Homo-oligomer: A and B are copies of this chain.
Amino acid sequence: MELDGEERAVVRPLLTDLYQATMALGYWRAGRACEAAEFELFFRHCPFGGSFALAAGLRDCLCFLRAFRLRDADVQFLASVLPPDTDPAFFEHLRTLDCSGVTVRALPEGSLAFPGVPLLQVSGPLLLVQLLETPLLCLVSYASLVATNAARLRLIAGPDKRLLEMGLRRAQGPDGGFTASIYSYLGGFNSSSNTLAGQLRGVPVAGTLAHSFMLAPASSEGPTVDLAASVNLWLKRVCDYLGLEVQEPHPGERAAFVAYALAFPRAFQGLLDSYSVRRSGLPNFLAVALALGELGYRAVGVRLDSGDLLQQAQEIRGIFRTVGAEFQVPWLESVSIAVSNNIDEKELARLAQKGSEVNIIGIGTSVVTCPKQPSMGCVYKLVSVGGQPRMKLTEDREKQTLPGSKAAFRLLGPDGFFLMDLLQLAEEPPPKAGQELKVWPRGAQGPCTVKPAQVEPLLQLCLQQGQLCETLPSLDESRTFAQQSLSRLNPAHKQLQSPPVYPVALSEKLRALVDSLGAGGPL
């Protein structure tokens, strides 16, 4: 397995909160650095008001864990910010740390995830697994947020529209863009404009051209003359047919189209809205496309970046049809129409409606920065120390945690849809298909019974005592897995606004443990 960390140089042990180091010192002074501890990483609420999330970021976590080592400079920096009388033996201990004692179970990349079900279970020496909290949260939260956001956008767009992520320039920092490009693809996008995500992670890259190309038009000298002359002849025919003066289309824009067509005769695309779409961009595009067509090349598409995108697409498709018929160029009517310009969930729904002539939708800010909810609120909570379950009890019941080392299962109904997720103690036997179970759904007043038609274990052993357990799936495999998982989610839970809550339940034994700890019994 390739786990190249080069692109993530910022992901290193000191990318953590100072209080993790403070607590590490506290544990060390108390002689507890090496006590066996287990933490769970989970979220309490699904993002964006939906009923699901996609788990993502696991590969990045494993990459980070495998490389985990405090360098001399790191330890020296910590020594400079911790109390000056700190025992040097503590820093010697830090120098020896690596993840050879760490075991991780996790939801596979692209899994559906629900509140309270661990995305990661991390066990190992208390001091070390405490230090891992912030970087693991940082790696999982945003990756999962973006993947979930992309999956929602895919649900809105339906399976056929091509979705292009193009948000790098709007991202929250360079890595915000890089991460977004990878995990929006995992969540269901078709491609990204981000070249680095293509190079380093194999995301399909795509893109057209920018307005600046239109503003820096080629001269009409030299090798461009032949095509340019043919374009001018076609321009007259097109303008006549559309009822425009031949002076109306902007000559600089047309020169830029010609330059582009000469550079990419097999991939000519026109960005139509540098000036006026109807009076300049469209006739210029048609003149160049028709001239190219005479030479045996088919233009691949147009792009719109302003105005009413749906309505313009309808008009442009209509003109492609009639112009194609008029000049007997049948391929013209199927030239693809790409749109962009601050597209959010609402506008996407409009662009994806029945009868829409839009083919490709470029989304930037709203997939990358997740403006509807720009952070995912994952938490990383201690569930056992020294083999004893731990539980956080506060007056804010929502912040209570579920104690103990746990297993998680997804129960399916006879229709093949997911029924509920079940959390139980690790030592309990797994539930069996066809067997009636008494379970305690979270948030419900009492228990209920359920008879699953199928049972799937959720958490996979990924890292055992520092060793990777199996080959990680490729990004494409995880992307396919995410779409397959979504296809088994009941349509009601795929509603994006106010969906019914997907049930997560506790086994009787886990419920009893919660009661025994919550009732004030000794911890």
A73 at interface, CB cutoff 8 A? yes
Contact of A18 among B171, B193, B218, B370 (CB under 8 A): B193
Q: Are B169 and A173 in contact (CB under 8 A)?
A: no
Q: Provide the residues of chain B in CB contact with A391, threshold 8 Å.
A: 215
**A250 CA to B376 CA in the complex, in Å?**
31
**A382 CA to B210 CA in the complex, in Å?**
11
The stretch from A266-274, A316-324, A353-361, A462-470 touching chain B is: A266-274
Q: Provide the residues of chain B in CB contact with A370, threshold 8 Å.
A: 172, 374
A19-B209, A385-B216 are contacts. A172–B374 as well, Cβ < 8 Å?
Answer: yes
A89 at interface, CB cutoff 8 A? no
Q: Are B7 and A10 in contact (CB under 8 A)?
A: yes
Measured as residues with beta carbon below 8 angstroms from the partner, the interface class of chain A is: 35 or more
**A427 CA to B334 CA in the complex, in Å?**
50
**A394 CA to B280 CA in the complex, in Å?**
10
**A16 CA to B126 CA in the complex, in Å?**
41
Q: Are B377 and A170 in contact (CB under 8 A)?
A: yes
Q: Are B32 and A369 in contact (CB under 8 A)?
A: no
**A390 CA to B216 CA in the complex, in Å?**
8
**A103 CA to B369 CA in the complex, in Å?**
31
Q: Provide the residues of chain B in CB contact with A198, threshold 8 Å.
A: 18, 77, 81
Q: Are A138 and B9 in contact (CB under 8 A)?
A: no
Q: Are A30 and B395 in contact (CB under 8 A)?
A: no
A74-B199, A222-B31 are contacts. A173–B275 as well, Cβ < 8 Å?
Answer: no
Contact of A263 among B30, B37, B166, B176 (CB under 8 A): B30
**A30 CA to B255 CA in the complex, in Å?**
11
Q: Are B264 and A133 in contact (CB under 8 A)?
A: no
**A155 CA to B15 CA in the complex, in Å?**
28
Q: Provide the residues of chain B in CB contact with A29, threshold 8 Å.
A: 259, 262-263
Interface residues of A in 239-277 (CB under 8 A from B): 252, 259-260, 262-264, 266-267, 273-276
CB distance from A92 to the nearest CB of B (A): 17
A444 at interface, CB cutoff 8 A? no
This chain's copy number in the assembly: 2
Q: Are B174 and A263 in contact (CB under 8 A)?
A: no
Q: Are A9 and B9 in contact (CB under 8 A)?
A: yes
A396 at interface, CB cutoff 8 A? yes
Nearest-CB residue, chain B, relative to A26: B263
A14 at interface, CB cutoff 8 A? yes
Q: Provide the residues of chain B in CB contact with A374, threshold 8 Å.
A: 172, 365, 369-371, 374
Nearest-CB residue, chain B, relative to A15: B196
Q: Are A32 and B216 in contact (CB under 8 A)?
A: yes
CB distance from A429 to the nearest CB of B (A): 28
Chain A 155-170 interface mask (CB, 8 Å, partner B; 1/0): 0000000000010111
CB distance from A490 to the nearest CB of B (A): 30
Q: Are B74 and A138 in contact (CB under 8 A)?
A: no
Interface residues of A in 378-401 (CB under 8 A from B): 378, 381-382, 385, 390-396, 399
A205 at interface, CB cutoff 8 A? yes
A8-B174, A31-B222, A196-B12 are contacts. A365–B375 as well, Cβ < 8 Å?
Answer: yes
Chain A 306-334 interface mask (CB, 8 Å, partner B; 1/0): 11000000000000000000000000000
A139 at interface, CB cutoff 8 A? yes
**A178 CA to B193 CA in the complex, in Å?**
24
Q: Provide the residues of chain B in CB contact with A18, threshold 8 Å.
A: 193-195, 198, 205-207
**A172 CA to B368 CA in the complex, in Å?**
9
Nearest-CB residue, chain B, relative to A382: B212
A215-B390, A395-B276, A396-B307 are contacts. A178–B15 as well, Cβ < 8 Å?
Answer: yes
Q: Provide the residues of chain B in CB contact with A22, threshold 8 Å.
A: 207-209, 263-264
CB distance from A389 to the nearest CB of B (A): 10
Q: Are B168 and A173 in contact (CB under 8 A)?
A: no
Contact of A195 among B17, B172, B275 (CB under 8 A): B17
Q: Provide the residues of chain B in CB contact with A415, threshold 8 Å.
A: none
List 5 extra interface pairs beyond A172-B179, A275-B394, CB under 8 A: A9-B9, A16-B194, A25-B263, A29-B259, A81-B195
A-B CB proximity, top 7 nearest: A175-B175, A19-B207, A9-B9, A18-B207, A172-B172, A137-B169, A369-B374
